[in-house]
Structure 1
């Protein structure tokens, strides 16, 4: 097996072997990070490489992909007022989660477990199921009751075994973690496994390449478990350390007002979640996470970047979804949260007027993370991932 970097606990420093199926820190039970500090390739050297996220091979902890479905390299299109959108819903399973899921499947292939398990409110589950199908790995996905029927259909179509758990998103996670503690089981957790973050970071490497070696002033990112934001922070750090960007963009984290534990902690100036906030129904099911395990890391990443937190109401989400549809982009309600936060006329929108575009680089970029066909128009409130 190709040498893999070890994992470590960012809280207490405990190290976990790359050959282990342990999915969390054995001391504190928290999520793990990867002992991996790559140097990205210069812009000119990327010409002619494979047209997928694997073109950034120097930054990835796994090489020689065998289960790729061509994920990555999604279009970047201008919306309005200096804001552009990256169309990550144009992925093989119609969500950005493919960026991380492909790395988890590749890792599982190398570790050779008898079973892969995952938990999700939909998009991560469909991605894991698809890439496990590609890798011929047996897969079980735990989902909460109330998950979109269209997402359940997609998971099942890929051949994964579905466990619908009576309860909320956290109940599904508990059930999956119990199964993950069985012998010879690989927990394909998009939250606890750091390989997933090293997949999502390719979102920013693509932006950097598409913008000719630049990044926008602001990266606006939806946050539930924070996997896209933390991946973005990794990529920004890599590009900056290599001298490939002169400044770091601010990270603006967006949560649904109905479930905004991180935004509340931010307002209180806290370094971690203090009191758990009540969870109300929201159409943004993919970011409805009352207790994100990487909360401390998310808050620190936003603070270190000079960014902030924004929240959006259900009305803002609904109007943003319709607005994008009127522009030809049909995106699920979670995926429109960032556009809801920054589009013209949005209450409490970003103070983008003080920023200026430079050399054709947009002021801000928002990700459109999931296709509208996955859950339909906002209006039926659900709770989720």
Structure 2
């Protein structure tokens, strides 16, 4: 390994998606780059993504699919490095891929192919890897950043957020940001299962039951599968709205997104002898139909139930409120919402406005995408933006 005490043009902290592509981009422009990570292997979070096949981008990427205190910040990086650009890179390395659903692209083979591609790109740029080395104290004096024995006029914070700590994730990015006077938007778990307690805990008995729903929270509205778990609610629809949910608020679930509010009135005409449970069981998993019918407590045949009562049940099923008591935390969160305040950064270069030579990219920044490859695209786009500026 090259002596890490040598002088470099840039030091990149974090050998994840954003850090590796940033280092490769700068290295291939002739910059001498040192890539430092306390983990002994690069791209650990990439390896577990997409069930091991890496949902590496989304062809429907657009700025409105991202959450940030400044919703316009992501526009510039995303417009300058698009999904098509990353697909071209993937294909240049001979990696086969497929579109699954909702614009999500996966490797046909393994996520290890993406990590190998990024390492090869770094090698092509002469990037020096320093893996398995704690970052330690970061110094800054006389226009140079110092990490261990290495010095450089540029430092890139690409250490991500605290989600999935078992992979070594920490809040280092925020500590460094504050050290250099940058504000941090409150970090919290995102794309994370929600927990239920109290009267709603009975839904845990449905653990393993999944159904397609429309979930709503705040400004978020997603139609995908929801999954009941032994702790509460999960599945793509729930993970999506978790980014929009705040503690103490309710979420609304439309269990029958294809049905009009008065569908039970029509069902009464078609099958007057049916019960509410039977009508629900035609459209939902049996155990869920039984639980919802019990909670509604509208017994008897549909023929004997007033249209007004049936319409009210239909409306309730179209906006069933749950009030989660929390989330499963950073341990189960796919990403972190919040992070280094974008007001302190240039959206063109990702450089800190008041600290020349300091950059922040990827999940460390207050830009969080939807589930489905959006966060990887932000990593690629922000990494390239910084790599081109180094």
TM-score bracket for this pair, using the shorter chain length: under 0.3
Question: Which has more strand, going by share of residues?
Answer: 2
TM-score norm. by structure 2 comes to 0.27
Bigger relative contact order, structure 1 or 2, given CA contacts below 8 A and separation 6+? 2
